[in-house]
Amino acid sequence: MPLDTSTTYPLTKLRLDGRRWNELRLLQAQISTNPASSGSSYLSMGNTSIMCSVHGPAEGRRGDGGSAGSGHAVVEVDVNVAGFAGVERKRRAGGSDRQSTRIATTLRSTFQSHLHTYLYPHSTISIHISVLSADGSLLAAAINACTLALVDAGIPMPGLLCGCTAGMSGSASTPRDPRHDELDPLLDLSLPEEQELPSLTVATTTVVPVGENNMDEDEETMKVSVLSMESKVHATYLETMLAVGIDGCSQIRELLADVIKGSRR
């Protein structure tokens, strides 16, 4: 029986994997990993690793409903969690489970509104995500991988969309006690932490500064575009968690920007 966060964290302020509360896991990424696609990326956050490839914008399939005629490109997302991704090997009968469907839905609506889809009327952008190994923060990692692959594909967007998770250690189901106001938020949760603590996923974007405004980029231009939470937490903790998550997103943004810049070099 390994130790768990809720008992040891208050004593040592060290998380199960040795991180401090505000540290990201090791994030590594590459783009253009799959030359056969329009854009592709490989991203790992800790032991969570994801491959993403983008096809399109391509001509929309016939009979694709009303949206194809609306003058916008349609984003399709397909998420596949490999059978060997988790601790236990699962043999899936082709279909997708609830978790991957939910991630796919979130990603679709996120990028549908994030990308400048009006530039590609009557076309489809399809994104394929393969989760090679899952160790927490799946949605956040998938958002980051998508962003990289979409950049690689050259699809215009207002800024990098970066996702991150934040959790809260301690008893987060009760309101804050003003006299014991010690919050223990955690950044970028791994799987054991995610199972144990309430957490949320947040993704932010910035408008890439252009022209004169280039110099005064500040926090004001940052925009939360995804916020997803599947656990219960008392409302009084939400603000702190959100602040920590947003801070994580901007850390990730720098890392992703480095990846993109590095690959051009």
* For other proteins, the closer CB: 21 or 158: 21
Which residue stretch of 20-28, 100-108, 147-155, 209-217 sits at the interface with other proteins (rule: CB under 8 A)?
20-28
Which residue stretch of 69-77, 106-114, 137-145, 235-243 sits at the interface with other proteins (rule: CB under 8 A)?
235-243
Q: How far is the CB of 26 from other proteins (least distance, A)?
A: 5
The 184-223 site mask, x for binding other proteins (CB under 8 A), equals xx----x-x-------------------------------
* 19 is an interface residue for other proteins by CB under 8 A: yes
* For other proteins, the closer CB: 35 or 66: 35
| Ordered DSSP codes for the chain | ----HHHHHHHH---TTS--TTPPPPEEEEE---TTSSEEEEEEETTEEEEEEEEEEEEPPTT--GGGGGTS-EEEEEEEE-TTSSSS-----S---HHHHHHHHHHHHHHHHHS-GGGSTTEEEEEEEEEEE--S-HHHHHHHHHHHHHHHHT---SS-EEEEEEEEES-TTSPPPGGG---EEEES--HHHHHHS-EEEEEEEEPPP-GGGGS---GGGEEEEEEEE-S---HHHHHHHHHHHHHHHHHHHHHHHHHHHHHH-
Number of residues that bind other proteins (CB under 8 A): 53
Residues within the interface to other proteins (CB under 8 A): 1-3, 7-8, 11-14, 16-23, 25-26, 28, 30, 32-35, 42, 44, 46-47, 51, 87-88, 135, 171, 173-175, 177, 179-185, 190, 192, 232, 234-236, 240, 244
